[in-house]
Each structure stands twice: as structure tokens, then as C-alpha cells.
Amino acid sequence: MGSAAKPHRDEWAAFTSAMLEVQEFVRAARQTPEKFPLFVADDRLEARFERPAPLPTAAVPLDAAVSELLGVLQAGYCNASHPNYHAYFAARPRLEAVLGDYLGEALNQTPAAWRAGPGATVIESEVLAWIADFIGFPRGPGRWPGGIVTGGGHLANLAALKLARDRALGEAIQAEGLRGAPEAAVYMSREGHFSIARALDILGHGRRALREIEVDDRGRMLPQALAEQIAADRRRGVVPLAVVAIAGTSGSGAVDPLEEIAAIAREHGAWFHVDGAAGAAMARLPGCAERFAGLAEADSVTLDPCKWLFAPYGIGVLLVRSGDVLLRAFPSASHYWEERGEPDLFAMGPYGSRQVRTLGLWLLFRSLGADGLRELLGELRRLTAYLADRVDKAAELELLHRPELAVCVLRARRPGDDEAATNHLNATIQRRLLESNRAFVTTLDWRGATYLRVGVNNYILTESDIDRLIDSVLAIVAEA
């Protein structure tokens, strides 16, 4: 018998010792992130990715396997813990959330079925309610929970469109498929997320069913253009399945005019979905809550806690007005499943068994409280404004527009440089910031112009980190 099959008491000793090693690595990475590269991918990693190592046959002690694993993570590492990690929306997760994930996985609880995790099911229900309360979305009537937990924004958006489709074309479509169904369309601004087009492909409507609506110069959907497009489609007999408004675009964090869009969706009988994967977390934040007026009227809202709710990657949430629509949308029965009338969440969403990802969020809400979470989010916005002010004051820098949430889009521009030279300069700045381990920002292509996109995602960020970022950008401009 190999060492891995030893009695469980030995298993615990091996785990504890390996855990110490893991813990020390995590401590160093999180407590002294500046000592780690912002991004590294050792040349050998790509070869290893394409030609994975052979299946190990002989046992090794767990400590040894852990050391090997940490070696790979160190050779290929994206330093989301670093204060100047400004890529996209997700950064350093809160440790409360990490702890909850560990607990759920170690005990292997699932919220999919009451009899496989009743406590986990209750916590998930509570977290969905707390997220709804946190963003000001009504806990609607009917079966609770009025929402589902998914693996991310993609799946939450997919589920939303499936609900919209069932309502617009009738639930018979679940059995019959799209055969004989009328042509249908979904409306979203051109700044919306590509997950919607992918969902339309998966649902069988095809990507062409997506109508991309024009935006204003701040990236917000133009309601008039939306109304005209829906009316033109309806004249041709096309059924408007859903209108998707974005609360926090992936590019610049813009929030569509939700109230006006809600009214247009309602007028045409279309499902009103708000994709607030990142932004919805700020919906009731003092200073920006008015931008989210109309969110409470949505038929569904996507919010990814792994973005601005500080959970680790891989959790999205879809909130709906009533759990009844979820029950009707995902019917399931099997001869191997004895139906006992228990609250089985697998019957309310597209997943079967799955990890419980809400224990950590429960700990986060319970320990920080909504006030504490809002304080963290408010600080992200305050620092974003500070960053924008610094850009405004620098002659060589300009903002795409004043930030709405916690994304700042800017670029450097030298007098006399044409558009191509300016684009090149900004791409160079992005690359040099990363190569010199000063900051990880991304580029954003805004109608052919290259900008620097700075996500202000990290709750340990300070003004001096932002000063360092701006000073580094200016130094690169001076030497480029």
C-alpha cells in the first residue's frame, strides 16, 4: 500500500505540515507583495503547458508535492495581491472569503441539495438575500432564494437570457427547442460584455441576435437609439427577448442610464437585465447611488462577488424578482433522486452539485458588516478620484473621461505626436510599467486610440501607491 493510503490520523499530520508550507507562501505573497514580481511566466512554462509532465506513478510525501506545486506558481505568477496590480476588476481577495472557501471544501458541503449540505444551503440563501439588500434589489415574493450562485458573470448572464427567452417565447420551448420559434433579438450597448453574445450562441439564437446599441462619449447606452432599434425590429416581427443594461462597463466602468432603459424594455415587453458584474456592488454607495436609479426595476441582475465584493475568482450571482421563475426554468427529475420536498438549489439553476462559494461571503458580510464593505468600496472610489485629479494636473496626461466608479482610463500625449505615435507611446508605457515591476495596468482600445486602463480594485491601495504609479508613467514619458 502506498503512503497516500495511510490511515486518516497520518493524513492529518501530513496535511498540517503541508499547510504550514502553504501558509508561509501565502503570508509572504500577501504581506510583502512588493517582493514578488507583478507578473512572471518562466519560458519553460509554455512548453510544460503544451506538453504536460507524464502521469506520476510513485508516491511522494505531500510536503514534497506541495513544494513542487509552489515552484510552478512562483515561476508563473500574476501578483493580484500587489497594491499596483490594476488589471481588470478582480484583485487581492479578502481573507474572510478565502477562509470560507477552505471550510466549505475541506468539509465538502454543497448547497446543491439540502441532504448534502443543509447548513451550506441556508448560508447561500442568506448571502443571496444580503447581496440583494446590499445593492437595493427587492427580495421579491414567491419561492426564495430569488437568485442563484454561478461560476462567474458569464454563467449568470447566460442564465438571465435563458429566463428572458422562456418568458418571451413560452416555456414550451424547453421541450420543443427553437423549431418554429419567431426570430428574436437581445439589445445591449456596444460597450457591453462579450458573454452576452456567447450566451446567445449557446442558447441557439446565434450571435447575430445581438443588437449593439450606440453609446455616448462616456460609453453609456443611448436610450433613443435603443428605442429606435427595438421599434424597427418589431415592425419586422422580431421578438425583443431582453434589454441588457451595463452597470459598470468592463472598459471604463460606465453605468448605462438604467431608469430610461427600464422604461423602454417595459414598453416593449422585454426582459430587463442589468449586468452589474463589477459595478452593482456600488449601487447603494453614497456619492454614486443616484447613477444606479432603476436597478431595482430589473427582472434580473448579475453581480460577480469576485470583482468588487473581494471574493476569490469564480463566483457570480444572478438575482431575480422571484425564485418561482428559477424553479420553472430548470425542471429536473431522476429515478435516482428521491424527491422529498426539500429546498434543493440544483432545481433552481443550471448546475448540479457544486462547491459552496458563499461561506466566505457570509463571513465577510458578517464580520465587516455592510458599513465596513461600503467603506472599502468608498475608499476605492475616493482613490480613483485622487488618481483622476493627478492625471488632470499633469500636462502630459489626459483622461478619457471623469471616472464614474473605480476605473480610471487615461493616456499620455506629447505635443506634436500624431495618433499612431500616441498609441505607441501608451502601449510602451503599459509594457515598461510591467517589465520594471512598477505597475500592472492594461491597455484599452477606445475607437482606435490606445489608453491605459487602471482598475482601482485593491483594498490595500493608498495615495502613495497612486503617486508612484503616476510618477512612473511620467518618467517613462520623459525617457521614451
Ligand X SMILES: Cc1ncc(COP(=O)(O)O)c(C=O)c1O
CB of 298 to ligand X, least distance (A): 14
Burial class of residue 215, CB neighbours in 10 A (0-12, 13-18, 19+): buried
Q: b/e per residue, 396-424, with b = 16+ CB within 10 A?
A: ebbbbbebbbbbbbbbbbeeeeeeeebbe
Which DSSP string do the residues of 38-74 spell out, in sequence order?
A: SEEE-HHHHHHHHSPPPPP-S---HHHHHHHHHHHHH
Which DSSP string do the residues of 420-437 spell out, in sequence order?
A: HHHHHHHHHHHHHHHHTT
CA nearest neighbour of 142 among 320, 352, 332: 320
CB neighbourhood size of 66 (10 A): 19
- Which residues lie below 8 Å from residue 11, measured CB to CB, with a gap of 6+? none
CB of 301 to ligand X, least distance (A): 11
- Binding residues for ligand X, rule: CB under 6 A, are 89, 152-154, 157, 193, 195, 246, 250, 275, 277-278, 304, 316
Locate 33 and state its grid cell.
507583495
User: Judged by CB, which is closer to ligand X: 150, or 423?
Assistant: 150
Cis omega (within 30 of 0) for bond into 145: yes
User: Judged by CB, which is closer to ligand X: 166, or 304?
Assistant: 304
User: Judged by CB, which is closer to ligand X: 314, or 378?
Assistant: 314
HSE at residue 437, side-chain half, CA atoms within 13 A, is 9
CB 330 within 8 A of CB 385: no
User: Judged by CB, which is closer to ligand X: 117, or 151?
Assistant: 151
CB 391 within 8 A of CB 408: yes
User: Judged by CB, which is closer to ligand X: 278, or 363?
Assistant: 278
CB of 191 to ligand X, least distance (A): 9
CB 145 within 8 A of CB 128: yes
CB of 249 to ligand X, least distance (A): 6
CB neighbourhood size of 343 (10 A): 17
CB-based closest residue to ligand X: 153
HSE at residue 102, side-chain half, CA atoms within 13 A, is 10
User: Judged by CB, which is closer to ligand X: 239, or 311?
Assistant: 311
CB of 302 to ligand X, least distance (A): 6
User: Judged by CB, which is closer to ligand X: 343, or 350?
Assistant: 350
User: Judged by CB, which is closer to ligand X: 154, or 284?
Assistant: 154
CB of 98 to ligand X, least distance (A): 18
User: Judged by CB, which is closer to ligand X: 145, or 152?
Assistant: 152
The alpha carbon of residue 397 and the mean position of all alpha carbons in its chain are separated, in whole angstroms, by 29
Q: b/e per residue, 136-171, with b = 16+ CB within 10 A?
A: ebebbeebbbbbbbbbbbbbbbbbbbbbbbbbbbee
Spatial distance between the Cα atoms of 466 and 456, rounded to a whole number of angstroms: 10
- Map grid coordinates 506634436 to a residue: 416
- Which residues lie below 8 Å from residue 275, measured CB to CB, with a gap of 6+? 153, 157, 188, 192, 193, 196, 244, 245, 246, 247, 302
CB of 456 to ligand X, least distance (A): 15
- The phi and psi torsions of 56 (rounded to 5 degrees) equal -70, 135
User: Judged by CB, which is closer to ligand X: 38, or 246?
Assistant: 246
User: Judged by CB, which is closer to ligand X: 109, or 195?
Assistant: 195
